[in-house]
Amino acid sequence: MGEGHPFRGDRFANAVKFFGEHGLLDLPNVELVAPSPASRTDLLRVHDEGYVDLIFRLAEEGKPYDFETPVSQSILEAALFIAGGTLEAGKNVYSGKFSRAISLGGGYHHAGRNYGGGFCIFNDIAVLIEFLREKYSVKRFLVLDH
């Protein structure tokens, strides 16, 4: 994706670099946490198995899902780490380890149970919500999309 595109692969590294250059990572109570990728189990709480299999197959073949949702091995890997990062952020807040957290790459809410769209192949927000429902019986959520 070209320069200026919002989904360029270097945007996360650039954000971390920006935070470091401006001293944000040196502030008290600020910790940069490297997430693990979301697991297949995490994804299947939200997405149909056939859809998840399709995305993995498209990534292997290097084919897009549709005209606005490219899929490749690197995009799949990023999507898994983004969903894992949102999950990690939520777990850390729910457990009390942190009072608040930011999932730097998160917010891919256009993906539904059996479809992707708007550059979203997995819905990281729903992955977190369904995890919290299953593991901790959380019943109410507020998602703000600005």
Does 5 score more than 60 pLDDT? Answer: no
List, as one string, the DSSP characters of 60-113.
Answer: HHT--SBTTB---HHHHHHHHHHHHHHHHHHHHHHTTS-S----TT---TT-BT
Q: Which domain holds residue 46?
A: 11-136
Q: Where does residue 39 rank: exposed (0-12), middle (13-18), buried (19+ CB within 10 A)?
A: middle
The pLDDT-based confidence of 117 (bands split at 50, 70, 90) is confident
Strand partners, 69: 66
| 2 in any annotated domain | no
Q: Looking at residue 40, what is its pLDDT?
A: 98
| 68 in any annotated domain | yes
| 21 in any annotated domain | yes
pLDDT tens, 82-93? 999 999 999 999
- Asked if 103 contacts 32 with a C-beta cutoff of 8 angstroms, the reply is no
Q: Which residue has the tokens 């777990």?
A: 91
Does 2 score more than 60 pLDDT? Answer: no
- Asked if 122 contacts 67 with a C-beta cutoff of 8 angstroms, the reply is no
CA–CA separation, 114 vs 69, rounded Å? 14
| 58 in any annotated domain | yes
The pLDDT-based confidence of 9 (bands split at 50, 70, 90) is low
Domain count, the chain: 1
pTM of the model: 0.89
- Asked if 89 contacts 103 with a C-beta cutoff of 8 angstroms, the reply is yes
pLDDT tens, 31-81? 999 999 999 999 999 999 999 999 999 999 988 888 888 899 999 999 999
Does 1 score more than 60 pLDDT? Answer: no
